[in-house]
Amino acid sequence: MLHETLLTILFQIPVALLVTQIKKEVDDDPVLLRFSEVLKLFHEFGHVVHYMCNRASHAKFSGLRLDSDFVEIPAQVLENWCYEASSMKLISGFHQDITKPLSDDVCKSLKRWRCSFSALKLKQEILYCLFDQIIHSTENVDIIGLFKHLHPKVMLGLPMLEGTNPASSFPSSAIGCEAACYSHIWSQVFAADIYASKFSDDIFNQHTGMQFRNKVLAPGGSKEPIELLSDFLGREPSVQAFVDSKAQPLNNSSSFR
């Protein structure tokens, strides 16, 4: 009894809340999520899993108290399950008949959609990263003028619309990541390497999942991120999987399952 009391005093059971905005059922008719909502749910649930699996000895290194380059990795890894037919068919349905999962054609379309305009999306992210670095390292910045200066250098020929202020629509993911927006791309690099190397051949492999839990999620911030990733991958992380994911042709469905 004394031992249990001491454990209660010394350790706190982790509690994580995932707060979402999802429509309720109307007249007993089920409300299905849009794909973008499913993707967001998987992403945020990845953070919850990371938090709950943490086994760091000190509170300073628990939860999501991590280097900014690392904190998004578990969430971005879990997003990949939204693009695999074998997982989507387990949780999907149509509003006409929720017992019917997504068809193969729809799943293929979602996978192709992920690769569409990938280079353009990446350039836009880089643009915001540069903007973020400059406004947090320079005083008295002309926000609109800065965007006009950076836009043609990064977007390469795509003009910035006159009379607009892109800074007013800065990505919500950047909030709380001042001067560290670049870390979102680095997390994508590491997440792509993890998924391609360990999960892409068998997304339901329990052994691999447990290794990911014990070697990547559990230590939290108690070890250097590069050490955790290298231990799990068996080598240093590589950018190749990230590059390959951006370069996949739209008609490539060879990895579809």
Residues involved in catalysis = 44
Q: What length is written for the chain?
A: 257
Stretch (H or E) spanning 4: helix 2-10
Q: Which two tokens stand for residue 55?
A: 């086994």
Given a contact cutoff of 8 angstroms between Cβ atoms, the answer to whether 133 and 177 are in contact is: no
Q: Determine phi and psi for 31, rounding to 5 degrees.
A: -105, 115
Given a contact cutoff of 8 angstroms between Cβ atoms, the answer to whether 217 and 74 are in contact is: yes
Distance CA(212)–CA(179), nearest Å, equals 29
| Inter-axis angle of helices 182-194 and 118-135, nearest 10 | 140
